[in-house]
Structure 1
Amino acid sequence: MSSTLDEATDADHTRRHMTTLLLEDRGDKWIVTQGGVDIEGKGPTAAVAAADYCRRIDRAE
């Protein structure tokens, strides 16, 4: 789930988005998911799993 924040200015034309990632500790690994997205990241730490998730999202474009 993501939402666009209307905080863009005429000077920089920045669009900001907010999203929620679910980080799940399964003991031996972390799983990262996002509602409505059929991709998950995995790793030994939450940070590694989140980075894995972001890489997979980037490749899916």
Structure 2
Amino acid sequence: MVDTSRGEAPAPPADPAEEPRGCLFALSQPPLMIFLTVIGSLLLMAALHDLFLL
């Protein structure tokens, strides 16, 4: 079998006090929240337009 290891040392263990950042951290970023708010309001306006004006 061919040896595919690169001989590099493994990454040092993460600091136990520092938690990994996941999806909820990404969702809490202000630019993403502004983008989602704009998209949501456009969808809401389109739905209300369809319900009441068509």
> Taking structure 2 as the reference length, what is the TM-score of the superposition?
0.33
Q: Relative to total residues, which structure has the larger strand share, 1 or 2?
A: 1
- Tell me the TM-score normalised to structure 1 length: 0.30
